Amino acid sequence: MAESSGTREPWQPLRWPDSPEAAQTLRDWAGTDDPPLYALDLDFRGADLSDGQFVGAWVSRSDFSGAVLRAAVFWTAHGEETSFAGANLTAADFVKAELRDADFTRAVLIAANFGRAVALRAKFVDADLRRANLGDGIFVDADFDHADLSNAMLDKTSLRDANLANAKVVGMTGTVLGPIVVQPGRSLDGEELERWFAARGATVSVLQQG
């Protein structure tokens, strides 16, 4: 994503959050030219915030469960402990976002961009990450149990101690840092991990730790 050089384009949600407090926070922010959005500990459930430009936003511990956020931009945003469970985040931009302990359980993340994101201990259980870009992201201890990572792209992506048990990885390509948990109590790294990926239709090279 290119850095913004001026005023945001006028934008309003397709549907406001059910929470009056969250809705008012969005109205106040949308009516100014001074990003970023500051919205900690708020409830955005029920909202359709598609195409929202939340560059540098502070949404830590807020609840976006089930919200629609197609093509929303959270570039460099703070989403620590934020819940996106069940949200539609198709083509969302999380480049350089801070997502420690965030919850993406059952979220739709098709073609989402997590380039250089920091998502330690984040939950992606049952998430749809087809064609997602995880390039240079940090997903240490993240949980991808039963996630669909088909055709996802990696580039020096750190999945150290991440759980890929039961994950679908067919078509995944790129380079990764392990070790990775492939079933409860079993982690693989190096050539063994490369063979595990290959057996599941992925073309992934495992980088050696420096």
pLDDT, tens digit, 9 for 90 and up, residues 101-152: 999 999 999 999 999 999 999 999 999 999 999 999 999 999 999 999 999 9
In a domain, 203, yes or no: yes
Does the pLDDT of residue 210 top 80, yes or no? no
Considering only residues 9 and 163, tell me which one the structure prediction assigns the higher pLDDT. 163
- Counting every residue written for the chain, the total comes to 210
In a domain, 26, yes or no: no
pLDDT tens-digit map of 4-63 = 444 546 789 999 999 999 999 999 998 776 679 999 999 999 999 999 999 999 999 999
pLDDT given for residue 209 in this prediction: 75
Residue 37 in domain: no
Question: Looking at residue 9, what is its pLDDT?
Answer: 60
Instruction: Confirm whether 4 is domain-assigned.
Output: no
**CATH value at residue 179:** 2.160.20
CA distance 190 to 206: 6
Structural domain count of the chain: 1
Question: So what's the pLDDT on residue 3?
Answer: 44
In a domain, 19, yes or no: no
Structural domain includes residue 8: no
Range of the domain at 187: 45-210
154 falls in which pLDDT band (50, 70, 90)? very high
Tell me, yes or no, whether 99 lies in a domain. Answer: yes
pLDDT value of residue 6: 45
